[in-house]
Each structure stands twice: as structure tokens, then as C-alpha cells.
Amino acid sequence: MTLLKHRLFWPVAALVTLVVVNVIANPNFAKVTMRDGDLYGNPVTILRESAPLMLVALGMTLVIATRGIDLSVGAVMAVSGAVSLTIIADSPDPGSLGTVTVAIVVAVLVALVLGAWNGFLVSVLGIQPIIATLVLMLAGRGVALLITGGAITTVTSAPYKFLSNGYLILLPVAFFIWVAVVAIVALVERRTALGMLTESVGINPEASRLAGVRSRGIIWAAYMVSGLLAGVAGIINASNTMAADSNNAGYLIELYAILAVVLGGTSLMGGKFSIAGTVIGVLTVTTLDKTIQFFGVPPAQSPVFFAVVVVIVVLVQSPRVHAWGRAASARMRRTPSSGEPPTGPGAASAAKKHEEVAA
């Protein structure tokens, strides 16, 4: 019962169910093999390919906690990929570690500046987050195209490629990158007071201001982190393809990130957030993506399939649906002869109550 009440219970249940269904349908789904001292197989691929979405969703979690939203993350990814690959392509020695380091640092800094721009619009100028970040969402890809001169820049650079395709101990580098970033973000949020202050600002901005919280700084910081992490995601993404494709890099990732955050149990209303929940949400989304491949859904139909499964997963997690379920089973138990009116009110009020308890 207490397990049921845990805020991560339903997100985890959804992920586990998804994996189990897949494994039953096709045992190869979980197959892992060892080659040259490295692990390969679908689960490993999921961990590797989760990286960009994981980073973006992490930043999105913080932004959403402040009652905001960051639509620009995909565009920022494109810019960061374009910046880093252009630097490498223009350098005399694309394969050197020095070039790659410079490329990464500059790209990440550019992404940080873009995040700061978003934060400025939202926290200082008071522009609605959805509009403020829409500006960059629309303009960002144009900037990326400008940087690459309108072409798809492709490069060959072993150290850069290593980021997404390399292996460290048994597992892909990209996996270690996201694990490290998750750990850092979680540590910073929980070990400093940033987590609490972010939640406070998200729950009640005016009361927070009156309590002396610098909401402006907190909100600004969230957008900067989001920009920064989108920048890193852009690098990993570009490293995967070794091409700066400004039109397609991170395309629609903002929506998948929002989906992952919500699947992880963080409310779009802001306030309480869960980093662990977001990790689970991202793994769910990536697993779902793989499910589509394993089920051999034709590309034309895969968005519909994806949407249907998402709706099911979201319903399974909805407190209101849980309450309906409980009310329905209670009615069954009360025996049909008692003439209990099979109406909604009881169920609806139970749902209300559940929300209050669970929130």
C-alpha cells in the first residue's frame, strides 16, 4: 500500500510493463552480447540513445518546476552541433584532442548564452515562457544554418565521434555522460538549497518573493541549465551522426522532453519535481521508440502507434483513473443487488480526495 503511494510507483510500473510486453513479444529485445570486452544489444542501445533526450529533459524538469517551459531546446541543440562541427571542420587538425575540446567548450558556452537569453526574457522582462522560448525555437535553427553556411557540415574526428559512439567500461560513453550529468544535477539540487527554492518559486512565486527568495535568479538559473544541457545534448547528437544537420538535429525533442517529464510524475503546474522520475520518463520514451522498431511498425504509422501507447501509459498513471478503478471495484464488491446507484459522484469525489492525498 505504501509502495503504491510512492510517487515513482506508477512511472516505474509503466516502464517495467513496457519492457515486459516487449520481452514477451520478442525475447531479443532484452538480449545483450559481449564483443571485444564491450556490451552490445538493444538494452545498451536504449541507454546510449537516451543521452540527448535525458539531458534535455533534465533541464526541462527544472524549467517546468518554476512553472515555465522551454521550447527552444531542439533549436539550441542544432546551434550547439553546428558550432562545434564548424569549428572542427574549419580547423587544420580536426582529429586532435585540442580542437575537439575547444569546439565543445565554445558550443556549450554558446548554448549557455542562449539559455541565459531565455532566462532574461522570462525572469527579467516577464514574458510568458512559452512565447519567450518560442522566439529562439523559431530563430535558432536559422542561426544554426547561418553558422554552417546552409550546408550539412560533415567532419571526421575520432575524439569527437568517441562521445557518442565510443565505449568506456563495458558501456557506451554517452551513457556515462548522462549518468554523470544526472548525478551532478541531482546533487546540486539536493545538496544546495536550489531544489527547495526552485520548488518554492514554482509553487507560489509571490509568497516566495515575500519570503525573500530571489525568484528572478532562480528562474534565470533554470533556463541557463536547460540551455547548457541542450548544448551538451546537441554535441552528443552531432557526434552520433558526425554531421551538423540544422534542420533535423533535435527536431521535436522539446515535446518528447515535456512528455518524459510528465511521465516521470512532475506536474506541468510547476512546484514539486522529481529528477529520478524524469530519468524513468526518458527511459520509457526511448524504450517506446525501440518498441516501434521491434514491432516492425511501418514508419508512416509509427507516430500513431507512439501516440496510442503514450495515451495508455498516461492513463495508467492518472490518479483519477485509479480512483475510478477503485470505485468500480468497490461497487462490484458491494454486490449488484443492493441497488447502489452506479453514478459518478462517488467516484469523482474519491478522485478529488486521492489527488489531495497524492499531490
Partner 1 sequence: MTDRGGAAGAHPRAAAPAAGAQMPGPMPCQDGPVSEAQALVQIAGATVRFGAFTALDGVDFRMFPGEVHSLMGENGAGKSTLIKALTGALALDEGTVVIGGSERRFGGPRDAQDAGVSTVYQEVDLLENLSVAENIFLGREPRRWGVIDHRTMRRDAAAVLSGLGLDVDPASPLGRYPLAVQQLVAIARAISTDVRVLVLDEPTSSLDLDEVAELFRVIRELKERGVAILFVSHFLDQVYEMSDRITVLRDGQLVGEYLTTELLRIDLVKKMLGRDVAEIAPREHVVEPEMPADPVLSARGLTRTPGIANADVDIAEGEVLGVAGLLGSGRTELARALTGVDRAHAGIIRIEGQPARLDSPRHAMNLGVVYSSENRRTEGLIGDLSIEDNIVLALQAQQGALHPISAPRRRELALSWIEALGIKPADPDRPVRTLSGGNQQKVMLARLLALSPRVIVLDEPTRGIDVGAKVEIQRLVGELADNGLSVVFISAELEEVLRVGDRVAILREGEVAETVAAASLNPDTLMALVAQPDLPEA
Residues that bind partner 1 (CB under 8 A): 191-194, 196-197, 199-200, 203-204, 206-214, 217-218, 271-272, 344-346, 348-350, 352-353, 356-357, 359
Separation CA 93–CA 349 (nearest Å): 67
Separation CA 324–CA 153 (nearest Å): 54
Nearest Cα neighbor of 15 from 359, 308, 286, 222 is 286
Name the minimum Å distance from CB 307 to partner 1: 31
Q: At residue 38, what are phi and psi to the nearest 5 degrees?
A: -120, 155
Question: 94 or 270, CB closer to partner 1?
Answer: 270
Strands (E), the chain: 32-35, 38-41, 153-154, 243-244
Name the minimum Å distance from CB 350 to partner 1: 5
Number of other residues whose CB lies within 10 A of the CB of residue 327: 20
Name the minimum Å distance from CB 197 to partner 1: 5
Burial class (CB in 10 A: 0-12, 13-18, 19+), 149: exposed
Name the minimum Å distance from CB 281 to partner 1: 20
Grouping H, G, I as helix, E, B as strand and the rest as coil, residue 323 is: helix
Name the minimum Å distance from CB 296 to partner 1: 44
CB 26 within 8 A of CB 291: no
The residue written with cell numbers 530571489 in the block is 214
Name the minimum Å distance from CB 213 to partner 1: 4
Question: 150 or 341, CB closer to partner 1?
Answer: 341
Separation CA 58–CA 274 (nearest Å): 10
Question: 137 or 221, CB closer to partner 1?
Answer: 221
